[in-house]
Structure 1
């Protein structure tokens, strides 16, 4: 079977993630080598983003989220691919290198572009949607993360992701209506 060719440059955390992706797709992949990214690495990300586009594809954990946020701060609007923690878990370890190729290809096909300069949803609307403070707020946020393909996160970070993806109250209501909550 011929591997799918990805035009954008993909950023992953480490060499094992890179090796796994190369088993699944045909793409140029760079590694952040963890959370301590150099200015040279970030400059390279900016350059690739301008020339070909960039997809950030990090593990669904704290360090992965830190890398994602730092690249957003330094580079701006990029595409993001995400897997659910259950798709990346093997024994006690979590990482893209443990995911199935089918899940990786699907996540990359559905990569979302996060726009960092917009506010399509106010904090008041976010609260009214029951996404913070309520007994099932975390489950509602988790449902939206799966529906809109961004990492599961706390209320503040979910609010940021929804705005970066230009999601409105209507978008969130439609997604939540499909849930069993």
Structure 2
């Protein structure tokens, strides 16, 4: 059983996560966040900690930010977009148990202290910015690091705020370069 409480968007997400792991969960039911849900999230964050697992889309990111404002420090798990697609529908509920387990195993805390280990130069030097396939490369590196897909600005923020080490970054790049070019 996972110690932390997993916060997801809806009941279908709970069903999908239950197929993958034994854990307590809270559903936000989208953007609504009824008062009792906010209180449950706060209580869980204070007593057991929480892992945020929202859909890999714009709405999921907005809900993630709202959860952070309610709970403060929490772990973040990301499912890659292609692992959460079913037709035109994107969401945790579409992910396989294996994708959910991998996302939860890769969950990381977001740092509250400002860190500048990585800069735009790192992104440019590694074709993660200002390159024809930068978007794809960021997506692949984000999957390897467990920080999900993001635009360049958000990706840089995640590199710095999720405690990614230079060694982890370099290893992820080495692995994706091997996969792409071999």
Per the normalisation by structure 2, the TM-score is 0.83
Distance in 2 (CA, whole Å) between partners of 1:164 and 1:133 is: 22
1:78-104 Cα offsets, whole Å, 9 max, x none, are 111221122222222111112222222
Three-state SS of the structure 2 residue aligned to 1:132 is coil
Question: Matched residue of 1:146: which SS?
Answer: helix
Q: Does 1:141 align with 2:133?
A: no
Q: Does 1:25 pair with 2:21?
A: yes
Are 1:34 and 2:30 counterparts?
yes
- Once the two structures are overlaid, the 10-residue window that deviates more, 54-63 or 171-180, is 171-180
Mapped partners of 2:19, 2:102: distance in 1: 14
- Residues 20 and 171 from structure 1, CA distance in 2 versus in 1: closer, same or farther, beyond 3 angstroms? closer
Match of 1:118 in 2: 114
Aligned to 1:171: 168
Deviations, residues 131-167 of structure 1 (Å, cap 9, x unaligned): 3223232122112211111221111111121112122
- Give 1:156's aligned residue: 153
Shift of the 166–89 alpha-carbon distance from structure 1 to 2, 3 Å rule, reads same
Question: Quick one: distance in 2 between partners of 1:16 and 1:129?
Answer: 38
Worse overlay, 98-107 or 51-60: 98-107
How well do the aligned residues superpose, as a CA RMSD in angstroms? Answer: 2.2
The superposition leaves residues 3-55 of structure 1 with CA deviations (integer Å, 9 ceiling, x where unpaired) of xx111000000111112222332211001111243565344323211210100
Give structure 1 stretches of 5+ with no counterpart: none
Matched, 1:70 2:90: no
TM value normalised by structure 1: 0.84
Q: 1:46 aligns with which of 42, 63, 74?
A: 42
- Decide whether the 8 Å contact of 2:145 with 2:168 is kept in 1: no
Give secondary structure in 1 for the equivalent of 2:30: coil
Q: Tell me if structure 1 keeps the 8 A contact 2:141–2:176.
A: no
Cα distance in 2 for partners of 1:74, 1:163 equals 22
* Contact 2:8–2:28 under 8 Å retained in 1: yes
